[in-house]
Amino acid sequence: MELLILLILILINGFFALSEIALVSSKKSRLEQRKRSGSKGAIKALKLLEESENFLSAIQVGITLIGIVTGVYGGMNIADDVAPFFQQFELIKPIANELALVLTIFIITYVSIVLGELVPKTMAMGNPEPIAVKVAPTIYFISNLFYPFVKLLSGSTNFVNKLLGIKKPSEHLTEAELRQLIKMASIEGVIEKEQNVLHEKVFYFSDKKAKHLMTPRVDVDWIDIDKSVEEIKSFLLKSNHSKVICCKGGLDDFKGVLISKDFFKSLAVGGAFNIEDIIMEPLVLPEATNAQKVLELLRKNKIHFCCVINEYGGFEGIITLHDIFENIVGQIPDDGEAFEPEVFVREDKSILVSGDAPIETLSELIQDFTIDFETIDYTTVAGFVLHCIGKIPRIGDRFEYMGYLIEVVDIDKNMIDKVLIKKI
């Protein structure tokens, strides 16, 4: 009979442990879904989570009381039944009662930890929401039953926390927590992987500066304003762009933006005309301008094009609406532009990545890869590799990073054109 009572006490302790982990581990969004389906248990669970201090204190009271009763009852009754066994041996007869008590406490502790703690908590962690829904009504009742004592405990806890300067944690999700939730939703199949990638790009966009959005200086098509009309005409006919930068001698002395349509319209009218009369004054922004501010200024000025300068006034690149869209949704090839994917997965599962791919591409390929646009001074995969190797790149240069082997496999002049990534 004593063993049965002891087992019941341990199982009650297990119920409290199960309930605590199930409720704490439950996702509110999933409980909300069950609530909308009419689950009364989900309603109770959500009420408990609104004031988690109360139900956690109630559970702690229950576990403490059960622990005390189990220890006292086991020590008084079970130990007395075990003592005669040790009294049979003359050598240990004088300490038979003490040995019986120690053995009893050891066995009760072992069974309590396994059946009263570990097994219930493991069950709750594996399937929190269904268990939380089932245990919530009982815990809700117990929480109300112990309410006066619970309020005393909560008040005491808050008082001590104030003395120690411990602040109550914020219930608002941080950006990092929201990103992690979306990532977990993608892993669990709640949302498509492509949706997660798009969400990540939107988050990254808000962290970027103008220098992370722009087409860099080396890739910008420009024309010297001093060239003849025929030379400009020939250049525009060969160009894939509807707008080009007009400069005097070089990119650092840019004068404006020439729209192809305006040039050919003036040409069709006939007669001599001055190129400077038809070029459009560009919007000029520092490279440190926030990405959202760039988009806001383009929209406010009703233009699709701006020039980016460095702290010395030198030309760094251009930003078009096309560049902004690509930073959010990925590659969008222009009309007539040959499409070459930035990422190519080979048969051996290694990944070939274009050097000019945005740095955030690596967050899709390398687990736990994080980017802080406030601290890094590079914008592409090639820039990241250069930062890591710290020298002029050569084909075959390689290094290890977060469990991956990254190797330079192709170079165009001094620029890294292709990088190979393998999981080690």
**43: Cβ–Cβ under 8 A, 6 or more apart, which residues?**
35
Residue 244 has φ and ψ, to the nearest 5°, of -135, 155
Q: Provide the token pair at 155.
A: 């008040």
Q: Where are the alpha helices (DSSP H) in 190-320?
A: 193-207, 210-213, 229-238, 260-269, 275-278, 291-301
Length of the chain: 424
pLDDT, tens digit (0-9, with 9 covering 90-100), for 12-43 = 888 988 988 988 888 887 888 888 888 888 88
Res 420 pLDDT > 60: yes
**42: Cβ–Cβ under 8 A, 6 or more apart, which residues?**
31, 32, 34, 35, 133, 136
**Rounded distance, CA 200 to CA 286, Å?**
25
Residue 261 has φ and ψ, to the nearest 5°, of -60, -40
Whether the Cβ atoms of residue 295 and residue 242 lie closer than 8 Å to each other: no
| The CATH fold of domain 343-423 | 3.30.465
| Local confidence band at 406 (pLDDT 50, 70, 90 cut-offs) | very high
**Rounded distance, CA 69 to CA 231, Å?**
97
Q: Provide the token pair at 84.
A: 């005669």
Say how many Å lie between the first and final Cα of the chain, rounded: 59
Res 408 pLDDT > 90: yes
- Is CATH 3.40.50.300 correct for 208-329? no
What is the CB neighbour count within 10 angstroms for residue 119?
A: 14
Mean pLDDT of the chain: 83
Whole-structure pTM value: 0.54
pLDDT, tens digit (0-9, with 9 covering 90-100), for 142-194 = 888 878 877 787 778 778 888 888 776 655 666 666 666 766 666 666 667 66
Closest-CA residue to 260 (of 305, 294, 202): 305
Tell me whether strands 404-412 and 415-423 are parallel, antiparallel or unpaired. antiparallel
Res 349 pLDDT > 80: yes
Q: Where in the chain is the domain with CATH 3.10.580.10?
A: 208-329
